[in-house]
Structures are given as C-alpha cells and as structure tokens.
Chain A
Amino acid sequence: MSRPLDIAILELSLEQRSGTALPGLAMERVLRERGHRARRVGPPAGLWERLRAEERRSARSWLRRATGRPPLDALDALARHLAAMLRAERLDVVIARGIEVGCVFLHDVPGFKILDWPNIQYVEAYSSSESDLSRVDALFRRERAVLEASDLVISPGQHLTRFTEATVRVDGLVDKLVTVALGCEPTSHTAHFSAAPRMVYAGSYYPIQDPYLLSRLTALAPFPMDCYGPQQPPDAHLPGRLNYRGFAPDSAFLANYQVGVITLSRDRLREASPATKLAYYFAHGLPVLFPWWMKEGHDFPACAVPYDEATFAARALSLVRPGCWEEMSRSALQVGLNCTWEKTLTPLVSALELRLHANIIENHGEDQTLS
C-alpha cells in the first residue's frame, strides 16, 4: 500500500441533491476505503450564485463600459477563489467535478489534476434551443484550455468516450481520457412482482431530461407513473401534469415500483451520455424503459427495453407480464451487482495511483515516491 494521498474532490456545490452529486460522494467513500485522505470541497454556499448575479449586473454596468473594463467573468472569479483555497492546502490530487470548477486548473493549483467531465459543456450549449454558434465557440475555447491543463480526464461511459474522441479536437486529449462508468450503491431493497404494477421516474427536470416527453409518457402509460426529484418540476406548460411525489433522501423507494423510466432529449450529446439513474434502477431490480436513441440502454438487452412514444404503452405492458418481469428483474439485479461504485471506480483509482507514482518519480526522484 502506498502512502495515503491527500485528495480534494472539488464540487460546484456541496448541497446539491440531484444525481450529479452521487459520483463525488462515491469517489470520496471509495478513496477513503482505499486508505486515502479524500474529501469533498467546494466554494462557500451561495458564492457561485452571487458571482453569476454580479456577472449579469456588470454586463450592463455603464461604469465598466465607460472605464473600458470588461464585464466580470463569474467562472474566472470562482476559479481564482478556488485556486487560492486549494493553494492553502497540501494536496497530491485535485479532482474537479465538472467544467465550472475545472476552470481552477487554469490557475496555479498544486497536485495531479483530474477533470471529471460528465458533460461536454459546449456541446450541451450547442444542443440548446436558439443557441448562438459564437457563444458555443467561446465555451469550447475555455473548455479546451481546461482540458489541456488537466493531467487526466474522466469520461463516465464508453459511448461518451467514443463521441468525445470523434467530436472534440483537443491536442493530447485521447491519451488523457479514461472511462470510469457510473455506478450504484448495493442495496437490500429490491422490487417485487405486482399484479398492480407502477412505474417510476427519479431524476431532475432540466431540458436534457425532456420533461415534455415525461409528461407525454405519463399520459400514455398503461399504469401509474410517479416522479421523484430534488425540486418540484414546473409543469403548468406541459400537456399533462406529472405525478410528482417529492424528494427522497435515499433510493430505497425505488423498490416500491416495478419499472424504471428514463427520458432524455434527443441530441447528439445525450444520445451518447450515460444516465446515473440506470444503474440505480438495476440495483433495485427494476427493468428499465429507455428512449431508443440512448445508446447506453442498448448495452443491457436482458433488462432494458427501448421505446418511442408510439410503442411506450405496449412495451410497458410486456415488461410486467408474470414470468417476464421476474426474469428481467433478476437480470437487472445481476447488472446492479456488477456495477457498484467499488467496481466502476477501479479504473480511476488505478490510473490515479499509477500516474501519480510516475509523476512523483519524474518530478522528485525515487526517494520521494509513495513508500
């Protein structure tokens, strides 16, 4: 065993309740179990929101314009704050979770720099409605700089890795890219067959999850579909109301359902992106219905079934037939057991320890290596 590493896992917010927080929590736990000193850190509560508000104000400030000063750049201000915070500590590794906090690598930061990159920000902006290509390009240039400054880049799924390799032109990126799949927590709460089945959606309600599609599916579903998530979704504009049940602090509630549902927008990034909820549905023994354009879903034909709006109801009914459901649920549980965070994070831990070892030898000589 090498000496424990001091690892900071940098988050944009330590309070977030969505699935985005789960990989960071899992990294902290698994790295601690491997003997390292890992801890999640982030900016003070409310700082990011204050900087964003200041950015909007400064973009309209006549005083700034009159004095020729550019508007405040919230990401840059946040990065400077975080860099100062990290420099005050003795760190071997900084794992920045997301491009927003990854901007810290554009400043002088100690340690081995790992960017956890679940979302290609400029492609997300590209996929957004009424996007402007110049703005997308500005985001790309910043993202490229962060990627160039990172020592290792984590992609959360094989399909996204392939998409990244084909789409993102950044020198040296392919050599830094490591796929670390999303995982789940083992659980004893597993679903049971029911003659009165129910479906569940657990997640956020941003455009990328396509609440409109979720609303359509709620109307089309042949049996009840409940929704959970960190915040009440705005749904007055949707063609039908969602059966929002609130936020659950853990995932045990999934065992009360028979089918897990995934929705996501139809664009090139989301087609290739993995879903955090998929592994959690499997861990609770839920067969899953996923939109046919989601590539990851097709990797699990024994427990996940593709749908479109026209086929959704029929596919849902076919999943809950006696015999069929039990078989798919068993397959789902098996997949869940094979993708616990302990297993999925192994490439990160191995790459981190190997590369760090080599890095320290290169920089400080054999006597300073992990002993």
Chain B
Amino acid sequence: MARRVIPGAEFAAAEKERFALRRRLARRWTGAPALPQTWEIVAERVSPWVRGLKPDLVLARGPRAALAALPGDKTRFAVDLEDVATLRLALRWYVDGPDLEATSRREAAVLERAAVVAVPHEDVGQLLHEAFPSLAGIADRVVVVPDGMTRGPQRAVARDGAVVCLHPVTHGDDPLLLAALQSRLERPLRRIGSPGPQVSFLPSPPPEFGADEAVSFGLVTRLADRLSRLCGRRVVSLLEYGIPVLAPRWLAIDPALEPAVARYEEASFEADFAAALARFDALRDAAEAAQRSWNSTLDRFLTRLGA
C-alpha cells in the first residue's frame, strides 16, 4: 500500500514560519547561528503523522522532501534525488554560511541513512559522491532510475515542420536562451502548453501555440550550471510525443535516448540545426523507438527496495 505525503504547501507555509516571532525568539534564546531551516519545520509537522502510519518503507522524493523525511532508525528509508540540496542552496543569489552548513550536515545524515538512493542519471550519483567525499559506500547504494514515459498524443513529424518547445518554461529551462535561439531559427517556433507567466524581461514574446502543425524537432533549453544541466526531463517529455529533440550539448541525458537527440551549442546553433536536419530520418525513427514504460525503468529500483 503506497501513499504520497508531504505536499508542497507544507514547504511554502514552513518558509513563512521560519521568520515567525516565536522562531526568532527561540533562536535568540538557544543562541542558534541561523533561523530554523524550512526542512526542520516541515519535519516537525510531518514526522509525527508519518510515524503514526507505521510504514515499512519511507521513500522521500526530491532533495527537500529527503531533508524533511528522515525517519527513525527502524524504518527502511530510500530517497529519489534529481540533484543535491546543499549545492542547490549554494547556488542561491546570496546565502548564509550557517544555512549551508546545517543543510549540508542534514543531507549527509540523509544519505548515510538511506538504504537506496535513486538518481535519474549516473552524473547525479557522481556529483553526490564528489560533494560528500566522506560518505562511505554511497556509490553502492546509488541506483540509476531513468524517467519512464507516458505516451502523449502523437504529432505529425516532418523534416520541414515547425520546431516546438514545452511551455510554460520555468527558471531552470533558461527562457533567455530560448528567446535567443528563437530569433535565430529560420522556421516557426511553436509551443506545446500554456504561454506561462507574463514577463517583460524576455527580449521576445513567448512562441505561439501550435495545434495541428507538423513538427520537425522539439527544442530543449536548460541552464548550464552544475545542477540544472543534470535534469533532462524535458527531453523525455518531448519524446513522449514521438518528436526528435534538439538539446544543449551540456545537458545530461540517459544514454539510451541519445540516438533520438541532436546536440547543439548556442554559438553554433545554425550549423548544429543544419546537421540535425541532415540526419532527420534517423532521429525521427529513434524517437519512435525510444518509447519505454515506467514499469520497465522502475523495475530495478523496486527490486533494490525489496518492494
């Protein structure tokens, strides 16, 4: 019997509660160097409830949930991480040293305690190993669990079709890069999905919605920082539509999907796009062949969990 707990709203409320008078007074009283962390507050709220369920296994999904969900010693514990919470925090605009240290200690404790650490790409496992060199045996507990696919409505795929991107773009999708590439494409860029938040800082308006047009490629953009480049989920989402993908060279993608992906650099985008068109048929066939179910990708993970 599997249940999902720790909704995102808990984190939003906890983020506000960090600054509550009671918390600040407690900090002064105890001489703590930093305000309580968001995950500490979520853990306070959620832990009693999770304990009440008496689960055989707690699986924490995502780095924030992992920090909050560290259970007692008797419960089997696993985490599913797409990146590293401490490094994500360290990439914030400005961040205090005590916040970083507290998060780092907690994350080390989580990784120490987890029987299985699921990651979407082997580079994430490598980064965990690199970021926590003192953790013994972490490499043995890491399992690569690539994203599965849920087949979407299929689009007509044609060499001279429009290029599409998934919308709304979020911060990590690098909308500035998308806008820069949009101005250099010699064919229409259409979006799949809603236009997203209205923002004025982008140098061009969001692409128009493309309903039934034939499509040549799906365009993925992504920030190039140490963590964002590890998230190739947009590639998987486009392949669910059976569309071959153009992705930045720095993006970590499951090697099994590489035949359906043409790589580009921003500086050489036009040439890279022309090279992708030259092998369009092979890319299209590979996109069709890349379909795989969640059952197949989760199999190894569930075996390791003993579930």
Are A and B associated in one complex?
A: yes
With A166-B203, A237-B86, A267-B223 known as contacts, the answer to whether A133 contacts B197 (CB < 8 A) is: yes
Q: Which of B191-214 contact A (CB under 8 A)?
A: 196-197, 199-201, 203
Binds B, one of A41-49, A124-132, A176-184, A359-367: A124-132
CA distance A83 to B98 in the complex (A): 36
CB within 8 Å for A133 and B223 given contacts A128-B93, A141-B200, A207-B93: no
Q: Which of B100-108, B139-147, B238-246 contacts A (4 or more CB under 8 A)?
A: B100-108
Q: Could you tell me if B176 and A126 are in contact, using CB atoms closer than 8 angstroms?
A: yes
Determine if B97 is an interface residue (Cβ-Cβ < 8 Å). yes
Q: Are B203 and A137 in contact (CB-based, < 8 A)?
A: no
- Say yes or no: is A167 at the interface (Cβ < 8 Å to chain B): yes
Within the complex, which residue of B88, B98, B100 is in contact with A129, where a contact is CB–CB below 8 Å?
Answer: B88
> Is A137's CB under 8 angstroms from B103's CB?
no
Cβ of A239 and Cβ of B132 under 8 Å apart?
A: yes
Question: Of all chain B residues, which has the CB nearest A137?
Answer: B199
Evaluate contact between B199 and A267: CB separation under 8 angstroms. no
Task: Say yes or no for B19: interface residue by CB 8 A criterion.
Answer: yes
The one of B86, B176, B200, B227 that contacts A123, using a Cβ cutoff of 8 Å: B176
| With known contacts A207-B90, A268-B177, A136–B104 Cβ distance under 8 A | no
Residues from chain A with a CB closer than 8 A to the CB of B91 are: 128-129, 207, 265
Which residues of chain B from 66 to 125 have a CB within 8 Å of any chain A CB? 86-98, 100-101, 103-104
Name the residue on B nearest A120 (C-beta). B201
The reply to whether the CB of A56 lies closer than 8 angstroms to some CB of chain B is yes
| A4, B284: Cα distance in complex, Å | 70
> Are B227 and A129 interface neighbours, CB within 8 A?
yes
With A60-B19, A268-B176 in contact, do A137 and B200 touch (Cβ < 8 Å)? yes
- Closest-CB distance, A291 to chain B (whole angstroms): 11
Q: Say yes or no: is A311 at the interface (Cβ < 8 Å to chain B).
A: no
Could you tell me the distance in whole angstroms from the C-beta of A128 to the nearest C-beta in chain B? 4
Q: Are A137 and B201 in contact (CB under 8 A)?
A: yes
Contact: B203 with A169, CB < 8 Å?
yes
Report the minimum CB–CB distance from B171 to chain A (whole Å): 5
Residues of A near B175 (CB, < 8 A) are 133
Contact assessment for B171 and A132 in the assembled complex, using a CB-CB cutoff below 8 Å: yes
B100 CB contact (under 8 Å) in A56, A141, A216, A237: A237
User: In the complex, which residues of chain B have a beta carbon less than 8 angstroms from the beta carbon of A234?
Assistant: 96-98, 100-101
Q: Counting CB contacts under 8 A, is A290 at the interface?
A: no
Nearest opposing residue in chain A for B171, CB measure: A131
- Name the residue in B91, B177, B196, B226 with the highest tally of chain A Cβ atoms < 10 Å from its Cβ: B91
Residue of A nearest to B173 (CB): A133
* A-chain residues with CB within 8 Å of residue B90 when the two chains form the complex: 129, 207, 211-212, 237
CB distance B224 to A56 under 8 Å?
no
A199 to B269, CA, bound (A): 37
Q: Is there contact, CB below 8 Å, between B94 and A212?
A: no
B199, A237: Cβ atoms under 8 Å? no
State the Cβ distance, A292 to closest chain B Cβ, in Å.
12
In the bound complex, CA of A125 to CA of B98 (Å)? 22
In the complex, which residues of chain B have a beta carbon less than 8 angstroms from the beta carbon of A211? 90
Contacts A129-B89, A267-B224, A268-B176 given: A237-B171 contact, CB under 8 Å? no
**A350 interface residue per 8 A CB criterion:** no
CB proximity to A under 8 Å, residues B223-253? 223-227
Give Cα distance in the complex from A158 to B225, angstroms. Answer: 23
Least Cβ–Cβ distance between A178 and chain B, in angstroms: 21
CB of B96, distance to nearest CB on chain A (Å): 8
Residues on B with beta carbons closer than 8 Å to the beta carbon of A168: 203
Given known contacts A137-B201, A167-B203, A239-B133, is B92 in contact with A207 (CB within 8 Å)?
yes
Closest beta carbon of chain B to A253's beta carbon, Å: 24
Residue pair A125, B100 in contact (C-beta under 8 Å): no
> How far is the CB of B21 from the nearest CB of chain A, in Å?
9
Q: Does B130 contact A (CB under 8 A)?
A: yes
Let me know if A223 is at the binding interface, CB within 8 A: no
A255-271 vs B: 1/0 string, CB under 8 Å? 00000000001111000
Q: Does B131 contact A (CB under 8 A)?
A: yes
Q: What is the CA–CA distance of A266 and B250 in the complex, to the nearest angstrom?
A: 11
Residues of B with C-beta under 8 A to A212 = 87, 90, 131, 226
Instruction: Specify which chain A residues have a CB less than 8 angstroms from the CB of B180 in the assembled complex.
Output: 166-167
| Residue on A nearest B168 in the bound complex, by CB | A133
> Is A206 located at the chain interface by the 8 A CB criterion?
yes
A60 to B91, CA, bound (A): 26
How far, in Å, is A96 (CB) from chain B's closest CB?
A: 21
**Residues on the A chain within 8 Å of B224, using CB:** 266-267, 293
Bound form: Cα–Cα A128–B170 in Å: 13
In the assembled complex, how far is the CB of residue B39 from the closest CB belonging to chain A, in whole angstroms?
14
Across the interface, which residues of B come within 8 angstroms of A268, CB to CB? Answer: 174, 176-177
Give CA–CA (A207, B177) in the complex, Å.
21
List, in ascending order, chain B residues with CB within 8 A of A266's CB: 224-226
Question: B223: nearest residue on chain A (CB-CB)?
Answer: A267
**Given A133-B171, A234-B97, A266-B226: A122 and B131 interface contact (C-beta under 8 Å):** no
A207 to B99, CA, bound (A): 14
A-B contact pairs, 17 of them (CB 8 A): A56-B19, A123-B176, A125-B93, A126-B171, A128-B93, A129-B89, A131-B171, A133-B170, A134-B199, A141-B200, A207-B90, A207-B91, A212-B87, A212-B90, A234-B98, A237-B103, A239-B131
Chain B residues within CB distance 8 Å of chain A: 19, 86-98, 100-101, 103-104, 130-133, 170-171, 174-177, 180, 196-197, 199-201, 203, 223-227
Q: A136-B201, A236-B100 are in contact. List 9 more A-B contacts (CB 8 A).
A: A127-B223, A129-B88, A134-B199, A212-B131, A234-B97, A236-B97, A237-B101, A239-B131, A268-B176
Nearest 3 pairs between A and B by C-beta? A234-B97, A129-B91, A237-B104
Residues of A within 8 A of B (CB): 56, 60, 122-134, 136-137, 140-141, 166-169, 206-207, 211-212, 216, 233-234, 236-237, 239-240, 265-268, 293
